[in-house]
Amino acid sequence: MYLGSYATTLKRMTYGKMSRSNLRVLAVSSGKGGVGKTNFVANLAYALSKRGKKVLIVDADLGLNNIDILLGLTPQKHIGHLLSAEASVEDIILQGPGDIHILPAGNGLQELTQLQPEKKMVLINELDHVSQGYDFLFFDTGAGISSNVTFFCSAAHETILIATTEPTSLTDVYALIKILHKNQAQKHFRVVINSVSSEREAQGIYRNLTAVTDRFLAGVSLEYLGYILHDTNVPKAVRQQKAFLELYPFSKFSVCINEIAEKISKEKPSPLSSARDQPYFWRSAFQVQY
Ligand SMILES: Nc1ncnc2c1ncn2[C@@H]1O[C@H](COP(=O)(O)OP(=O)(O)OP(=O)(O)O)[C@@H](O)[C@H]1O
Ligand SMILES: [Mg+2]
Looking from the CA of residue 42, the nearest atom of ligand 1 is 18
Question: What pLDDT score does 16 carry?
Answer: 47
> Beta-carbon neighbour count of residue 214 at 10 Å?
12
Mean pLDDT of 26-41: 97
Candidate of 238, 239, 260 to mutate for ligand 1, largest count of ligand atoms within 8 Å of Cβ: 238
Question: What pLDDT score does 64 carry?
Answer: 83
CA 77, CA 68: separation in Å to the nearest integer?
11
Give the global pTM.
Answer: 0.90
Mean pLDDT (the chain, rounded): 87
> 143: Cβ below 6 Å to ligand 1?
yes
- Of residues 15 and 127, more confidently modeled: 127
Question: What pLDDT score does 73 carry?
Answer: 94
Residue % of the chain over a pLDDT of 90: 72
Question: What pLDDT score does 21 carry?
Answer: 59
Question: What pLDDT score does 271 carry?
Answer: 54
Domain assignment of residue 223, given as a range? 2-289
122 C-alpha to center of ligand 1: Å?
30
- Of residues 75 and 269, more confidently modeled: 75
> 235: Cβ below 6 Å to ligand 1?
yes
> 32: Cβ below 6 Å to ligand 1?
no
What CATH number is given to the structural domain containing 130? 3.40.50.300
What is the tens place of the pLDDT at every residue in 192-223? 999 999 999 999 999 999 999 999 999 999 99
175 C-alpha to center of ligand 2: Å?
18
Number of structural domains found in the chain:
1
- Of residues 1 and 216, more confidently modeled: 216
> Quick check: 7 pLDDT over 70?
no
> Quick check: 261 pLDDT over 70?
yes
> 234: Cβ below 6 Å to ligand 1?
yes
CA 247, CA 203: separation in Å to the nearest integer?
28
> Quick check: 155 pLDDT over 50?
yes
Strand partners, 101: 56, 95
> 197: Cβ below 6 Å to ligand 1?
no
> 33: Cβ below 6 Å to ligand 1?
yes
